[in-house]
Amino acid sequence: MDTLQNMRVFVRVVEAGSFTGAAQHLNTTTAYASRAVSDLEAHLRTRLLNRTTRRIALTEAGERYLQRCEQILAYVDQAEAEAGDAHARPAGKLKVHAMTSFGQHYVVPAVGLYQERYPDVQIELTLAQRMPDLLDEGFDVSLTLATTGLPDSGLVSQRLGGAFSIACASPAYLERHGVPQTPADLAQHTCLQMVTPVFPTDKWTFDGPNGEETVALGSSRFQVNVAEAMAVAVSRGMGIGLIPIYSAISGLRSGNLVWLLPEYTSQEMSLYALYPSRQYLDAKIRTWVEFLRDELPATLAADQEELRQFARA
């Protein structure tokens, strides 16, 4: 028995004053309306309506039950409207994960621009180097970087753009140790290592005029898992590091970092937005991903164009 539907029929019968009137409004038959109320009465073991050939009248129990039915149906209608509105209008809390340095440079500014457009969305942003379990941890969207394709996780993925890393050192380090001219020269230098799930710790691979070149690394005097910390270490003259361009730009502007081997790039990465499902996608998730897909490629391209200016300097 569909109790909720039978409640709707019962309320409509009372409002119409007859089974026939209720049936006409509900686009069904009088027999169906009568049976729905009878099923309710059998389920409750209580008479709700007194019936005669000309009219119906609520019993005392029916009056009380009618009030509860109206309250319940109003809550159900409100819940359905809110759920439907979530599909149509961005609102509520959006829980987002992003890789730490990428999130600082690109996602935080994007949040501000997004909320100017959609002020009813509250964003809870978590920055972490690990890839979370979206379902277990309750994230709506994860923004993650990968050097190759993503593993099969059952999640929906959209590529939002790409980035890469560059070899950097401080002016003071280069004055003491000289400037490497080729990737092979790095074997004679102190190389600092980024330790993340994305990159291997035992080698650096470069793409340049001679194609792909790999440099084997020995043990490092310093390892870190966040690009911002790597940029600080390199700027203090601790050694040479591979730094994602979004973390290197500020140091290049200030002169604290020098781009080495400008004909070469390394650690090419793709940025993906991951979310659980395409079906009945909440409006805040849909608009957030669409916003990033529209905004991020231009921002990434602008940083890469600025980087080329340092290569020509």
How are beta strands 223-224 and 265-275 bridged, if at all? unpaired
Q: Please name the fold of domain 3-88.
A: Arc Repressor Mutant, subunit A (1.10.10)
Domain span(s) for CATH 1.10.10.10 in the chain: 3-88
Distance between alpha carbon 277 and the CA centroid of its chain, in Å?
11
Under a CB-based contact definition with an 8 Å cutoff, are residues 256 and 304 in contact?
no
pLDDT, tens digit, 9 for 90 and up, residues 287-306: 999 999 999 988 988 888 88
Predicted pLDDT of residue 215: 86
Model pTM?
A: 0.68
Task: Give the CATH superfamily of 92-162+270-305.
Answer: Periplasmic binding protein-like II (3.40.190.10)
- Three-state SS for 244? strand
pLDDT, tens digit, 9 for 90 and up, residues 40-60: 888 888 899 988 767 888 888
Q: What angle do CA 169, 180, 250 make, to 5 degrees?
A: 25
Element (H, E) at 215: strand 211-216
Here the tokens at position 186 are: 């790095």
pLDDT, tens digit, 9 for 90 and up, residues 58-86: 888 888 998 998 888 888 877 776 666 55
Mean pLDDT, rounded, of the chain? 87
Predicted pLDDT of residue 242: 93
Predicted pLDDT of residue 257: 95
CA distance 207 to 264: 5
Q: What is the DSSP letter of 122?
A: E
Under a CB-based contact definition with an 8 Å cutoff, are residues 236 and 174 in contact?
no
The CATH classification number of 163-267 equals 3.40.190.290
pLDDT, tens digit, 9 for 90 and up, residues 156-211: 888 898 889 999 999 999 999 999 999 999 988 999 998 876 676 778 889 988 88
Domain span(s) for CATH 3.40.190.10 in the chain: 92-162+270-305
- Three-state SS for 98? strand
- Within the chain, residue ranges assigned H as helices are 3-16, 19-26, 30-44, 60-88, 100-102, 108-117, 134-137, 171-177, 227-235, 245-254, 283-312
Residue 85, amino acid: D
Main-chain phi, psi angles of 111, to 5 degrees = -60, -45
Under a CB-based contact definition with an 8 Å cutoff, are residues 166 and 259 in contact?
yes
CA distance 38 to 313: 87
- DSSP string for residues in 175-201: HHH----SGGGGGGS-EEEE--SSS-S
Q: Which residues of 218-246 are buried (b: 16+ CB within 10 A; e: fewer)?
A: eebeeebebbbbbbbbbbebbbbbbbbbb
Domain span(s) for CATH 3.40.190.290 in the chain: 163-267
CA distance 276 to 192: 37
